[in-house]
Structure 1
């Protein structure tokens, strides 16, 4: 293990929720892929795995083979043959047998990398293999297509509010929530003090990673069209979206394009993890509606840096986005519920468990209270039903339906 890797391992901040199933995940007989949008901390998750395995005496330092193609010292490794020669030399020098940890960051930078990975996996079945990668050469979502079903994956998300507090070394309160809403959960944002630089960093992540990577990977020629579609999706987050209303928006901007192109650009954006599309589910008919969906941003900071933030107009969508991201980052499948003419903001499912959720900024009057709680009371099954808002003084239980303050809920829901 190199001194540089030791330094990163020593200073890594552990994100505990990703290590709950550490041993089962690490020692499963598959290649492990760490996926997720760029800059969410995939490399540091890999460092935390190495750190924990060392602490648990599951590994020794001489058993760790690690390469990060963003580090200049590995610049000479250009293809799978270079990589294999480097590995064999390391294995001989460290007198390593068949048990070792192999981690490669930014694997797409090595030509035909899958030949090496598959060879190691078949030749050393007791080895632990981790890879990460994502840029214009290979989107994170597509890494597994090269491995012919011989892998399992774990997706890394931006920081939760609890993690944001840990990384920033600040107590959780309404002021921190406001900061989290404004600048999002990318880990690096916590180490930037200047507010203008925070925004420039977020814009840079968007322009150089999501736009540039998509343009190159998908061979997109119309940059302006892609950015305008993104702006529409950022502004309309939490609303029902289809290709027709995007087309109408583009026509008002005097941008002509086909529905097919719009659908393609949207799909490309979903594949890069910039947005999530959420299907609607008919609670009574128990079927999915696939045409019109809701869209949420993977990170509010990225969203706000591109279209700005107007709390008066955006707060409802912001709260929904926070709740949605919190559920999916904790392993839930999430849908929008349809109950006749009524809508249930979310249905979250995990391990046979189901939760119905309404999200509101404020339960400001009887009309709002009747809407948020009344919609849930029309659902006659026995699954948990909750309302989340920013209210502190509202009752915790209303007609058998639980109410949570959003700050408390974000801290305590796992």
Structure 2
């Protein structure tokens, strides 16, 4: 959930576990999970080349509780679950959602709808002594709305034109 996907890596892992599954079979399983609406793909988008990339896409669950049902609760999963919730909300609002790549920087989501574009970073809380979440957005030189969605109410506000919002507010308000 929310991690770059590589069928080859999965095939290699299964081989190391003495289970042989071809890369093609893994892609078939992924396609079947998509067709059953259990997972949604999120392709990567290169901001500099303004194109959709063919590799390193991510997948998100249609229902985050599936992960908890299989693996139980673990506090370390909260980042991925939060990202999954934001992805699903952007899709619900009618956006085409991509994972952003800006040179070597990662943007959690680029959401496109008609002539609208929105950039979104997601974190449980802003890291101390790091501007990674805000800094990645500041390097984007256009003037479309930029958001950081967090679970920490003390982090909210506006920094350098970037709105830092609590997840609850992000889910309740329009993000224009």
TM-score normalised according to structure 1 size:
0.41
* Gap regions ≥5 residues in structure 1: 1-236
Shift >6 Å, 4+ stretches: none
Which one of 138, 161, 164 corresponds to residue 400 of structure 1?
A: 161
Question: Which is strand-richer, 1 or 2?
Answer: 2
Alpha-carbon distance in 2 for matches of 1:397, 1:331: 25
Cα offset, 1:354, TM superposition: 0.5
Cα offset, 1:263, TM superposition: 1.1
1:308 matched to which residue of 2?
72
Which one of 244, 254, 267 corresponds to residue 31 of structure 2?
A: 267
1:246 matched to which residue of 2?
10
Alpha-carbon distance in 2 for matches of 1:308, 1:294: 22
Alpha-carbon distance in 2 for matches of 1:395, 1:295: 28
Deviations 1:306-362 (A, max 9, x none): 222212x21110110000001101211100000000000000111311000000011
Higher RCO, 1 vs 2 (CA within 8 Å, ≥6 residues apart)? 2
Which one of 28, 39, 52 corresponds to residue 288 of structure 1?
A: 52
Report 1:9-408 matches (<5 A). Answer: 237-311=1-75, 313-367=76-130, 370-408=131-169
Alpha-carbon distance in 2 for matches of 1:381, 1:286: 13
Provide closer, same or farther for how the CA distance between residues 307 and 395 of structure 1 changes in structure 2, counting only shifts above 3 A. closer
Deviations 1:219-259 (A, max 9, x none): xxxxxxxxxxxxxxxxxx11100111111232233211111
Alpha-carbon distance in 2 for matches of 1:258, 1:331: 35
Alpha-carbon distance in 2 for matches of 1:276, 1:252: 28
Larger Rg: 1
TM-score normalised according to structure 2 size:
0.94
Deviations 1:36-75 (A, max 9, x none): xxxxxxxxxxxxxxxxxxxxxxxxxxxxxxxxxxxxxxxx
The secondary structure found in structure 2 opposite 1:366 is coil
User: Contact 2:107–2:137 at 8 Å: present in 1 too?
Assistant: yes
Alpha-carbon distance in 1 for matches of 2:65, 2:174: 22
**Greater Cα shift, 319-328 or 252-261:** 252-261
The secondary structure found in structure 1 opposite 2:124 is coil
Cα offset, 1:303, TM superposition: 2.4
* Gap regions ≥5 residues in structure 2: none
What root-mean-square deviation, in Å, do the aligned CA atoms of Structure 1 and Structure 2 show? 1.3
Alpha-carbon distance in 1 for matches of 2:174, 2:14: 39
Cα offset, 1:395, TM superposition: 4.3
Q: When the two structures are aligned, how many residues end up with a matched partner?
A: 175
Question: Which is helix-richer, 1 or 2?
Answer: 1
Alpha-carbon distance in 1 for matches of 2:16, 2:125: 33
The secondary structure found in structure 1 opposite 2:99 is strand
